[in-house]
Chains A and B, each alone.
Chain A
């Protein structure tokens, strides 16, 4: 692949669709197979594809390592926040039905969606960080 034209062009076309597909899997966790972890893995795969096609330098300009360090903990924070909100509203940790929303079904739907987003962010960030570290280990 000394001239990467074809792989690069195809990656350019595919990456946005892969990212949207990952978010679709995230949002349809209740209706089909999927959920936060799978969505995070697919989203991470799109970034891995970017690194493979365009190289690490260009990827580092686009996706900052610091942002991923931040996101790793931000995902856990979202997860914990949803859990604690349930406790503040009078239930147990992650007992969604106690959230102050009109119906119990809506409450548990939004609660699960919230923690899935947290899981998604953490999984994406951790996977990308692992990949960056493994790909760069020869540089030290």
Chain B
């Protein structure tokens, strides 16, 4: 119950951020929205793991946080230099 309400609040927050991601106006606003939604997803995965009493979900949350970070850095680097290395 408690976890369900918290998850709902985070989904609402993610939808609000998604609006910023659609509207822009700059690519950096969109990237900010994507990064922010990614970290919210980490919390959401942890909460869902507790809702269904499956703590193994935490491993997935940690991996998602990691991939989110690397993805943001990679995209920024590509924006700036036009290449990945």
Interface residues of chain A, those whose CB is within 8 Å of chain B, are 1, 7, 18, 21, 25, 32-34, 38, 42, 45, 48-49, 51-53, 55-56, 59, 131, 134-136, 138
A1 & B66 in contact (Cβ 8 Å cutoff): no
B23 to chain A, nearest CB (A): 26
Find the B residue at minimum CB distance from A32: B56
B73 & A55 in contact (Cβ 8 Å cutoff): no
Q: How far is the CA of A135 from the CA of B83 in the complex (A)?
A: 7
A42 & B70 in contact (Cβ 8 Å cutoff): no
Binding site of B, secondary structure by majority: helix, strand, loop or mixed?
A: helix
Q: Given A45-B66, A135-B84, A138-B83, check contact A52 B73 (CB 8 Å).
A: yes
B80 on the A face (CB < 8 A) = yes
B59 & A52 in contact (Cβ 8 Å cutoff): no
A56 & B85 in contact (Cβ 8 Å cutoff): yes
Find the B residue at minimum CB distance from A24: B59
Most buried by A among B60, B63, B74, B77: B63
What are 17 A-B contacts defined by CB distance under 8 Å? Answer: A7-B73, A33-B56, A34-B59, A38-B63, A45-B70, A48-B74, A49-B70, A49-B73, A51-B84, A52-B70, A52-B73, A52-B77, A52-B84, A59-B85, A135-B83, A135-B84, A136-B85
